[in-house]
Amino acid sequence: ALLGGVALAEALSAFLPDSAAIRLKWPNDLLLGGAKLAGMLCEGAAHAGRIEWIVLGLGANLAVAPEVPDRPTTCLGAHAPAPDPEAAAVALIRSVDAWRQRVAVDGIGPLLDAWQRRGPQPGARLTLRTAAGETSGLYRGLDTDDALLLETDGRTRRFATGELSGGGD
């Protein structure tokens, strides 16, 4: 999911005048001007410590943004000329491949760094909604397995799932 988010953000940024404008919202959204531009889902299975299969689903609003009742949405076409879908797909495939190769050579560190540059500001106050309720804390980054790290009551806690609000927008 980290790789998909970074690759999609980089690919779509190539079509904008400000390449840093796209932000990442944990765990699976891309934001532009605070509104949802794209999303992703990642599913997979592992056996005996080896990845058996992975499916990465990515969706981006290129020319039109659907209306969603609980959040603002946007499209690239509202900020720059909307790219041709084929050109966007080629940029995405190239970005995914480049990141896949880089992680294979350099490990997860550069990918985490790239995600962090587009994610919430370190120390931002975030609220996470999970099945167990709401937790607020200070953003302390991501763990190597994509878990969100929040500092609450003087200790850092890991969260694997949830819906984030606050400084991550």
Pairing relation of β-strands 163-166 and 155-159? unpaired
pLDDT of residue 18 exceeding 60: yes
What is the pLDDT, as a whole number, of residue 70?
87
pLDDT of residue 152 exceeding 60: yes
Average pLDDT over residues 57-77: 95
Portion of the chain with pLDDT greater than 70, in percent: 98
Residue in the structure block whose two tokens are 């491949």: 97
What is the pLDDT, as a whole number, of residue 64?
97
**Residues 143-146: contacts with CB under 8 Å, at least 24 apart:** 144/108, 144/112, 146/1, 146/2, 146/27
Average pLDDT over residues 123-139: 95
Q: Which amino acid, one-letter code, is at 84?
A: D
Average pLDDT over residues 136-154: 94
Average pLDDT over residues 22-37: 95
Identify the bridge partners of residue 138 per DSSP, sorted by sequence position.
125, 151
Three-state secondary structure readout of 19-80: CCCEEEECCCEEEECCEEEEEEEEEEEEECCEEEEEEEEEEECCCCCCCECCECECCHHHCC
Portion of the chain with pLDDT greater than 90, in percent: 88
Residue 158, classed as helix, strand or coil, is: strand
The residue among 27 and 90 whose pLDDT is bigger is 90
DSSP label of 111: H
What is the pLDDT, as a whole number, of residue 144?
86
What is the pLDDT, as a whole number, of residue 134?
95
pLDDT of residue 169 exceeding 60: no
Average pLDDT over residues 81-103: 97
**Contact between 152 and 137 (Cβ < 8 Å):** yes
Average pLDDT over residues 61-65: 97
